[in-house]
Amino acid sequence: MTAERDLWLHRAVECPDAHRRLIAFPHAGGSASFYREWGRHLPGTDVLGVRYPGRAERIDEPAPTDLVRLGGQIAAALAGLDDLPLVLFGHSMGAVVALETARALQARGVRPAHLVASGSRAAPLPPPAPADSDGDDLALRLAALGGTDPEMLADPFFQELVLPYIRSDGEMFHGYAHRTGPVLHCPITTIVGDVDGDADRRPWPELTDAGFREHVVPGHHFYLVDRPPYGLLTDLAEVGR
């Protein structure tokens, strides 16, 4: 990959016989390493995790503040990678970053093969979050939901390093003004845990003219920590071939 692509995208597992690419967008406070094992479980799939600024390898950069702009930057980094079908998979906040990336790709003349919005369900938009809902307590809860070890959560160095960008992501996400268009020309699939009380709510069927499906799976908001949706993603690939 080029230097610009290496900045934004991480391939943990090589897949020389790939017949599609899965672009994986992390949740708020997440990083590309969240998806580091996925390439081992999705045959024929070139898995690229998205590297957001302000964390991990990009810790010295400012965290993003504009979700639409972030989607445009990621779309630019994906230029030239549409030689294989592009499936965009995003979890929680990452689902909306994937949506804006898909829109930016479409504006560039690239139609994604599929958008998968995980940790989100089809429903009317909720009311705006309270102004103080993204403090350190919420950031710690998000980190805990994502599987972070409790001892690590209590570590002052961890809190100093990680909480700022979790909080920043939350502010960016809740500051995002939902847009009804442009409508996508690719199918959208949502995946939501059956006991997920933190699922993003969004009118997904209205955001595409190419079909919508919702899958309910066992688990809470971070169902995919213990049960990554490999089977579903493999089935989507077979349908698209």
* Catalytic (active-site) positions: 92, 221
Whole-number Å distance between alpha carbons of 92 and 117? 7
Return all residues near 175 (Cβ < 8 A) that are at least 6 apart.
65, 67
Q: Please give the backbone phi and psi of residue 120, each rounded to the nearest 5 degrees, phi first.
A: -145, 155
Q: How far is CA 4 from CA 78, 146, 151, 232, in A?
A: 9, 28, 36, 31
**CA atoms 203, 207, 208, 214: torsion sign:** negative
Residue type for 106, please? Q
CA triple 54-89-95, angle to 5 deg: 65
Q: What is the CA radius of gyration of the chain?
A: 17
How wide is the angle at C-alpha 46 spanned by C-alphas 218 and 53, nearest 5°? 80
